[in-house]
């Protein structure tokens, strides 16, 4: 791999992928959403910072046209699509507009990247790694919009892989478990704010779920962004990539349980970490 495009490059896993690729001497197209983020990377003549907003079709198309111009006919070898958002909230308490925002950015954003990637990667063994999550396989409380978006990406990837068989390109899904990035830490204040806005009735119905989730995202679990980037690189660099890469022990375990267990048993497993009933002596805060 010597030309790599990374979306969601300003922070977290995408940022680590960019830095690791620059250190190896690859040519990197680092895709950021905000103009001001161009200065976040190590200086290198092999770095090109490109702006795209995954929520807008025109912005993604214009960004890829800029990449074509910079490549000047050279092939693009790989794309790691990391850009995504996650805003937790119970289905009953979350506005449809918030679901639209998450599904547009994550699922339709991946569709926009897929459509741009296929013609640019085919014919020379190029590869697209779509970063989903263990939540692309399983479904968890308070993550309805995020899970729906990641399940949609998994389905789009399977469909595109089957539609492009024989075209000499690879479409791969990477499913990390918990990774210590802003995506995790940014959720704690959002959940706290939700809790504080709840009516007494809503608090009675959902308070413990939000309280438990708050503790979960405030905890120290998860692998580092660098370890996750190394896992994604396996998909980017394998001579014959698999269709799916599960990254982290939690992803492997939850995906396995979700595939094997009957739904009601999986409900029980999920309720061991998050459920809506207080345990003895437990309070919401
Ligand atoms: N962290 C985890 O526990 C975890 C677990 C499993 C899977 N994942 C997946 O791994 C990927 C990377 O996540 P991360 O943890 O590195 O998250 P992160 O630190 O929050 O970074 C997300 C990146 O996506 C970009 N982004 C968000 N909305 C965008 C938009 N509309 N257009 C373009 N870029 C946009 C952000 O740009 P701004 O800086 O401009 O906001 C940011 O650079 C995501 O697909 C995520 O779902 C994460």
42 in a structural domain: yes
- CA of residue 198 to ligand 1 center, whole Å: 27
204 in a structural domain: no
Measured CA to CA, the distance from residue 243 to residue 162 in angstroms comes to 11
Ligand 1 touching residue 13 (CB < 6 A): yes
Ligand 1 touching residue 105 (CB < 6 A): yes
User: What is the predicted pLDDT for the residue at 221?
Assistant: 85
Residue 79 structure tokens = 């794309």
Measured CA to CA, the distance from residue 180 to residue 32 in angstroms comes to 20
273 in a structural domain: no
- What CATH number is attached to the domain comprising 229? 3.40.50.720
Rounded to 5°, angle at Cα 174 from 172 and 177: 165
274 in a structural domain: no
Does residue 125 contact residue 168 with C-beta atoms inside 8 Å? yes
Ligand 1 touching residue 78 (CB < 6 A): no
Ligand 1 touching residue 229 (CB < 6 A): no
- Containing structural domain, residue 15: 3-180+222-251
Residue 184 structure tokens = 């995790």
> Any idea how long the chain is?
285
108 in a structural domain: yes
User: What is the predicted pLDDT for the residue at 212?
Assistant: 87
- Of 18, 58, 82, the residue with max ligand 1 atoms within 8 A of its CB, to mutate for a pocket test, comes to 82
Does residue 240 contact residue 128 with C-beta atoms inside 8 Å? no
- Count of domains for the chain: 1
Note down pLDDT in tens along the chain; length 285 residues: 699 999 999 999 999 999 999 999 999 999 999 999 999 999 999 999 999 999 999 999 999 999 999 999 999 999 999 999 999 999 999 999 999 999 999 999 999 999 999 999 999 999 999 999 999 999 999 999 999 999 999 999 999 999 999 999 999 999 999 999 999 989 999 899 999 999 999 999 999 899 989 888 888 789 999 999 999 999 999 999 999 999 999 999 999 999 999 999 999 988 887 766 665 556 655
Q: Which residues pair with 32 in a beta bridge?
A: 51
93 in a structural domain: yes
Atom of ligand 1 nearest to the CA of 83: 24
189 in a structural domain: no
Ligand 1 touching residue 11 (CB < 6 A): yes
Which residues have CB under 8 Å from 178's CB, separation 6+? 184, 221, 222, 223, 248, 250
pTM of the entire predicted model: 0.96
- Number of helical H runs and strand E runs in the chain: 11, 9
């Amino acid at each position: 791999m010597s030309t790599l495009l990374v979306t969601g490059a300003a922070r977290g896993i995408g940022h680590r992928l960019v830095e690791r690729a620059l250190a190896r001497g690859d040519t990197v197209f680092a895709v950021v959403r905000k103009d001001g983020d161009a200065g976040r990377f190590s200086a290198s003549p092999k770095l090109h910072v490109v702006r795209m907003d995954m929520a807008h079709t025109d912005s993604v198309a214009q960004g890829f046209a800029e990449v074509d111009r910079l490549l000047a006919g050279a092939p693009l070898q790989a794309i790691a699509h990391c850009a995504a958002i996650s805003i937790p909230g119970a289905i009953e308490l979350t506005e449809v507009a918030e679901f639209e925002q998450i599904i547009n950015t994550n699922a339709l954003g991946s569709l926009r990247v897929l459509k741009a990637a296929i013609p640019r990667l085919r014919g020379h063994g190029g590869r697209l790694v779509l970063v989903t999550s263990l939540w692309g396989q399983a479904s968890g409380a308070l993550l309805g919009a995020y899970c729906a978006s990641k399940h949609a990406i998994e389905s789009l990837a399977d469909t595109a892989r089957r539609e492009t068989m024989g075209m000499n390109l690879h479409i791969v899904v990477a499913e990390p478990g918990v990774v210590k990035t802003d995506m995790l830490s940014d959720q704690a204040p959002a959940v706290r704010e939700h809790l504080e806005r709840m009516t007494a009735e809503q608090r009675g119905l959902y308070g413990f779920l939000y309280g438990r989730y708050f503790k979960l995202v405030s905890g120290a679990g998860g692998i580092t962004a660098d370890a996750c980037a190394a896992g994604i690189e396996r998909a980017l660099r394998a001579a014959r990539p698999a269709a799916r890469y599960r990254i982290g022990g939690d992803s492997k375990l939850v995906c396995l349980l979700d595939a094997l267990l009957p739904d009601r048993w999986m409900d029980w497993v999920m309720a061991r970490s998050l459920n809506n009933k207080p345990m003895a002596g437990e309070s919401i805060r």
